[in-house]
Amino acid sequence: MSKTRELTKGIVAENPVFVLVLGLCPVLAVTTSIENAVGMGIAATFVLLMSNIIVSLLRHVIPSQIRIPAFIVVIASFVTIVELVMHAYFTELYEALGLFVPLIVVNCIILGRAEAFASKNSLLDSILDALGMGAGFGLALVVIGAIRELLGTNRLLGYPVFDLQDGVLGFLHLEPMAIMILSPGGFLVLGLLMALLHWSKSRKKEA
């Protein structure tokens, strides 16, 4: 498999959210705004990248019988670093993400890549895999977060969009749909995006 393929597979072909359907708990919980989505995406990508590096470097050292506990210890170490840094320098974001920052430890995307890929491949390939999967996860979060924030509050990054007075597209005024920033809205947006992606793939196969 080419290096380019390793780097890009997680963005569309093997997107961890829309294709592999992994890590849905934080996806549905934190994507009420773009800011939260970006914060979680960066945090998860950092942990994924660093854990892949360490697991790949130690893949011949860690006994197979204890590999899963060892992977969890590695992941938990980097999650602790992320949590402390976020708590110190990004307090508002840390409070908004809440429990889902420490829960990165058990995010099945990160543990899954450590077990299925980093423990069996070279350092460079593991880095590319982590960057690609992290980018795909972050992209999914941002897309879902943007749609939910826009439809649920008529804002993007805090700026009004469909507001009659101040909105950029005030002439297309829409009433905010509060359900979009609640759990049912998250399921609805995720389901529609997954359906759209699979429909697009099926059309390409037929063409």
- Write the single-letter amino acid at 142: V
Instruction: Flag whether pLDDT at 206 surpasses 80.
Output: no
Number of domains in the chain: 1
pLDDT, position 170: 62
Residues 86 and 101: beta-carbon distance below 8 Å: yes
Look at the alpha carbons of 34, 97, 192, 176 in this order and tell me if their dihedral is positive or negative: negative
Report the alpha-carbon distance of residue 120 to residue 122 in Å, rounded: 7
Mean model confidence pLDDT for the chain: 90
Tokens, residue 129: 């895999």
**Residue 65, phi then psi, degrees to nearest 5:** -65, -25
Residue 145 in contact with residue 34, Cβ under 8 Å?
yes
**Residue 99 pLDDT greater than 70, yes or no:** yes
Strand, coil or helix: 11 = coil
Residue 65 is given by DSSP the state: G
pLDDT digits (tens, 9 = 90+) for 132-144: 999 999 999 999 9
Look at residue 174 and tell me whether its pLDDT is greater than 80: no
**pLDDT confidence tier of residue 207, bands split at 50, 70 and 90:** low
pLDDT level of residue 122 (50, 70, 90 thresholds): very high
**Coil, strand or helix: which one is 156?**
strand
Residue 129 pLDDT: 95
Tell me the pLDDT tens digit for each residue of 156-171: 887 888 776 666 676 6
Q: Please state the rounded mean pLDDT for residues 53-67.
A: 93
pLDDT of residue 88: 94
Quick check: 111 and 23 in contact, CB under 8 A?
Answer: no
pLDDT beyond 60 at 1: no
Give the residue, 75 or 23, on which the prediction is more confident.
Answer: 75
pTM of the entire predicted model: 0.91
Q: Which residues span the domain enclosing 167?
A: 3-206
Cα-trace Rg, the chain: 19
Please state the rounded mean pLDDT for residues 3-21. 89
Contact present, 31 and 186 (Cβ < 8 Å):
yes
pLDDT at 205: 78
Quote the pLDDT of residue 166: 67
Indicate whether 4 pLDDT > 60.
Answer: yes
Q: How far apart are the first and last CA of the chain?
A: 25
